[in-house]
Amino acid sequence: MENYSAESIKILKGLEPVRMRPGMYIGSTGKRGLHHLVYEVVDNSVDEALAGYCDWIKVILHEDGSVEVEDNGRGIPVEVHPEVGKSALEVVMTTLHAGGKFSKDSYKISGGLHGVGVSVVNALSEWLEVRVYRDGKVYRQRYERGTPVTPVEVIGETNKRGTVVRFKPDPLIFSDTELEPDILEHRLRETAFLIPGLRIEFEDRINGVKKSFKYEGGIKEYVKHLNQGKKAIHDVIFIRDTAYVETKYGRREEVLVEIAFQYTDSYSEEIHSFANTVKTVDGGTHVTAFKAMLTRLMNEYGRKTGVLKEKEAFQGEDVREGLTAVISVYVRNPEFEGQTKSKLGNEEVYDAVSKVMRERLKEYLDINQDVAKAILGKVISAMRAREAARRAKEMIRRKNILENTTLPGKLADCSSEDLERTELFIVEGDSAGGSAKQARDREFQAVLPIRGKILNVEKSSLDKLLKNEQISDIIVAVGTGIGEDFQREKLRYGKIIIMTDADVDGAHIRTLLLTLFYRYMKPLIEEGRVYIALPPLYRVRVGKEEYYLYSEAELLEFKEKYAGKRMEIQRYKGLGEMNPEQLWETTMNPSTRKIVRVTIEDAEEADRLFEILMGSDVSSRREFIERHALKVRELDI
Ligand code: 0RA
């Protein structure tokens, strides 16, 4: 870094445009934009850390809703800027400096919404106070809505170095000025993972919580963290190298590539990517190159070892099943594309990542043959499962086409064909199924009992379960077929209602069914046709009156209301304990029952949880089921 000098700042304009059109600078004036203010300030300190001058950042969420960010970097320069006759500190805080901005010589973040500068934060704050510890002195200046209300003053002496920025987001700009500690914590932890050795402290004074993040292992530790609770099949692979590549402007540039990844025995894929420590949620050239090269190298390896037959080839999805990866690149002029500026566009990064992957990963796998074998085994079984799933789908399709009049024997169908009235109850257990068949209104309600223990097949993928008879009965009863063969017009019922016991097994089955609908019959969820029945948890008798209660909370409330009265409480352990009349009244009669419509978010959650259920980690599975079982209880219509 050269010395700070007057020329390195190009003064463009004041801050009025920022208050006029905040969205242009921070994306939005909602929650997202609000949090962006904090990131903007933290990123300045992070840049100082990347340049090697700072190893500690502290963020405090104050009780008054303001945020304070302190670092032990060099401190923002305070010298008087000769051209304007103002302190550099004031210039930095009160002018928009685009282009040749106040930047480090290293990899400066310059794309999109990132690195718009701390002056933008100043402009959008009700007030902001900056302190600089530099040359033994403490400097201070205060602003209101971007305008200085004090000069840059020396307010004391110190032996510290660094910068402290404290600001309060302006309620005139933001619809909601409440910062979410969880969001901030998540982001700060992520940043700490990206810069090994950097300590980031977070203190939430509203809730009295303090956290400290420091990861010497960098993104390697990040992958370990992401895979907690999953069963890894090898140690985290870490590769890091620089590559010299040509940009589209014909310049040769150095790109630093860091990749950490690990396979688990799960079926999901999780890739987090960053460019210059900025998260690229929509991926980009670095992610595309990583995926392409991983597939290519695995195919080459599979060929070489003879496990791939002549006509076989791994597809991307085979190679990424159970993969958790973190990709972090540093590039001189990052281009962030897309609506939210979260996709990396630099073509030269594609070349750099391909090159580093080819050279370093090959080398790694040559040295660590056992790891290579473990991964290859996983990829092969993913490929076989994909082929098996295709055959299973084919089979169901054929079954649908050839015998589409043969409905499952266990289905008690309804007589109406009016889609807007008809309902299919998928009921757990034969005894509850029997009661439901007796209880239903056969004109518009159909009942399909399924056995409770469909899920005993441990560590099986959903694809395999498609072959399961219970599942194929459901698919045939619903009528639409699945996946690419889904035909909305074949739908046989207007509502599909999942009715399971209020216990762990019930939650288990519900998750499986939601995952099935989510992955293979998604339009049904999007149209809001899938529901969960909420059977009561208690029946209470007070005198001659009977009441049904649907939650612990309702029971407590009830007890308070009837305190002193004699009551008889029956707890239902399962649907099977209700006689048909009770089942009708509490769970099936449209005018008295409770049902919850399943949203896409619910189904996504179920899909995620399904992975945990199917995974091998018994304790996290148990924990999840219990949590999830409670959660559905808390929902209401
Ligand atoms: C430009 C030059 C110098 C430091 C900084 C910027 C700087 C900015 C921020 C913002 C938050 N924390 C910061 N820390 C440092 C260094 C000038 C010099 O000492 O040569």
Domain ranges of the chain: 16-213, 218-393, 404-535+575-631, 538-571
Helices (H) then strands (E): counts for the chain: 21, 26
177 vs 618 pLDDT, higher one: 177
* Residue pair 549/555 in contact by the 8 Å Cβ criterion: yes
615 vs 447 pLDDT, higher one: 447
Q: How far is CA 245 from the centre of its chain?
A: 33
Q: What mean pLDDT do residues 199-209 have?
A: 98
| CA–CA separation, 15 and 91 (whole Å) | 11
Q: Is the CB of 3 under 6 A from ligand 1?
A: yes
pLDDT at res. 102: 37
Nearest CA to ligand 1 atom 7: 76
| CA–CA separation, 614 and 458 (whole Å) | 6
248 CA to centre of ligand 1 in angstroms: 31
pLDDT band at 601 (very low <50, low <70, confident <90, very high): confident
pLDDT at res. 81: 81
Angle CA 40–261–300, to nearest 5 = 130
Start-to-end CA distance of the chain, whole Å, equals 61
Which residues are within 8 A (CB) of 541 and not within 5 positions of it... i.e. 6 or more apart?
A: 547, 567, 568, 570
pLDDT at res. 107: 41
Nearest CA to ligand 1 atom 19: 74
> Length of the chain in residues, anyone?
637
What is the fold, at CATH topology level, of the domain defined by 218-393?
A: Ribosomal Protein S5; domain 2 (3.30.230)
Angle between helices 600-614 and 504-520 (to 10 degrees): 110
In order, the DSSP letters of 251-288 are: -EEEEEEEEEEEEBSSS--EEEEEETTEE-TT-BHHHH
272 CA to centre of ligand 1 in angstroms: 29
428 annotated active-site: yes
| CA–CA separation, 407 and 476 (whole Å) | 7
pLDDT band at 615 (very low <50, low <70, confident <90, very high): low
pLDDT at res. 407: 87
635 vs 407 pLDDT, higher one: 407
Residue 402 pLDDT > 80: no
106 vs 161 pLDDT, higher one: 161
Q: Is the CB of 71 under 6 A from ligand 1?
A: yes
* Residue pair 89/9 in contact by the 8 Å Cβ criterion: no
CA atoms within a 13 Å half-sphere pointing along the CA-CB vector of 399: 21
Q: What mean pLDDT do residues 210-215 have?
A: 98
Residue 630 pLDDT > 90: no
Quote the strand ranges of 445-566, DSSP E: 445-450, 495-499, 530-533, 538-542, 545-549
Q: Which of 41, 44, 71, 81 to mutate to test the pocket of ligand 1 (most atoms within 8 A of CB)?
A: 44
**In CATH terms, is domain 404-535+575-631 a member of 3.40.50.300?**
no
Q: Please state, as a whole number, how many other Cβ atoms lie within 10 Å of the Cβ of residue 479.
A: 16
Q: Report the atom number in ligand 1 closest to the C-alpha of 118.
A: 10
Q: Is the CB of 472 under 6 A from ligand 1?
A: no
621 vs 216 pLDDT, higher one: 216
| CA–CA separation, 123 and 18 (whole Å) | 7
Q: Classify domain 16-213 at the CATH class level.
A: alpha beta
Please tell me which residue in 47, 48, 190, 501 is annotated as part of the active site: 501
| CA–CA separation, 199 and 211 (whole Å) | 10
* Residue pair 327/218 in contact by the 8 Å Cβ criterion: no
Strand-by-strand arrangement of the 545-549 sheet: 545-549, 538-542, 567-571
108 CA to centre of ligand 1 in angstroms: 13
Per the prediction, the chain carries an average pLDDT of: 88
Which residues are within 8 A (CB) of 107 and not within 5 positions of it... i.e. 6 or more apart?
A: 50, 256, 276, 330, 331, 332
505 annotated active-site: yes
pLDDT band at 507 (very low <50, low <70, confident <90, very high): confident
| CA–CA separation, 78 and 598 (whole Å) | 57
Q: Is the CB of 449 under 6 A from ligand 1?
A: no
Q: Among candidates 516, 509, 634, which has minimal Cα distance to 574? A: 509
Phi, psi of 402 (to 5 degrees): -75, -40
pLDDT at res. 457: 40
Give the strand pairing for 237-246 and 343-344: unpaired
Query: To which H or E segment does residue 216 belong?
Result: none
Structure tokens belonging to residue 32:
């997202």
43 vs 626 pLDDT, higher one: 43
Q: What mean pLDDT do residues 46-66 have?
A: 97
Q: Which percentage of the chain shows pLDDT scores above 90?
A: 68
CA atoms within a 13 Å half-sphere pointing along the CA-CB vector of 489: 0
Phi, psi of 624 (to 5 degrees): -60, -50
pLDDT at res. 597: 94
51 CA to centre of ligand 1 in angstroms: 10
| CA–CA separation, 469 and 164 (whole Å) | 64
Residue 105 pLDDT > 60: no
Q: Is the CB of 43 under 6 A from ligand 1?
A: no
